[in-house]
Amino acid sequence: MRKSKAFTLIELLVVISIIALLMSILMPAMTRVKKQARSVACLSKLKQWGIWFYMYSEDYSGRFMQGYRITNQRAVQVLGQYHKCDPEILTCPNATKPWVDEYGNASGLEGSFLGSTSAWGYYNLSGLPTRIKGSYGVNGYINDPPTGAEGNGRPASHFWRTANVGGAAYIPIWMDAIRYNGFPLQTDVPPPFDGERWNDNAQMGRYCVSRHDGFIGCLFLDYSARKVGLKELWTLKWHKEYDQAGPWTKAGGASSADWPDWIKPFKDY
- Condensed to tens digits (0 to 9), the pLDDT of residues 115-156 reads 688 899 899 999 999 999 999 999 999 999 999 999 999 999
Parallel, antiparallel, or unpaired: how do β-strands 118-123 and 97-98 relate? parallel
| Pairwise CA distance, residues 60 & 55, whole Å | 9
Whether the per-residue pLDDT at 110 is higher than 80: the answer is no
pLDDT at position 163? 96
Domain boundaries, given as residue ranges, for the chain = 12-258
- Among 43, 66, 257, smallest CA distance to 146 is for 66
Summary mean pLDDT of the chain: 91
Average pLDDT of the segment spanning 197-209: 92
CB burial readout 8-36, b (16+ within 10 A) else e: eeeeeeeeeeeeeeeeeeeeeeeeeeeee
Say which range, 70-79, 99-108, 185-194, has the weakest mean pLDDT.
99-108
Per-residue confidence (pLDDT) for residue 5, from 0 to 100: 65
- Is the pLDDT assigned to residue 185 strictly greater than 80? yes
- In this prediction, residue 2 carries a pLDDT of 57
Residue 252 has pLDDT above 80, yes or no: yes
Q: Which DSSP helix (H) or strand (E) runs through 71?
A: none
In this structure, are residues 25 and 81 in contact, taking their beta carbons and an 8 Å threshold? no
Cα(63)–Cα(267) distance, integer angstroms: 35
> In the chain, where do the E strands start and end?
97-98, 118-123, 132-134, 136-139, 172-176, 181-182, 215-220, 225-229
State whether residue 23 is helix, strand or coil.
Answer: helix
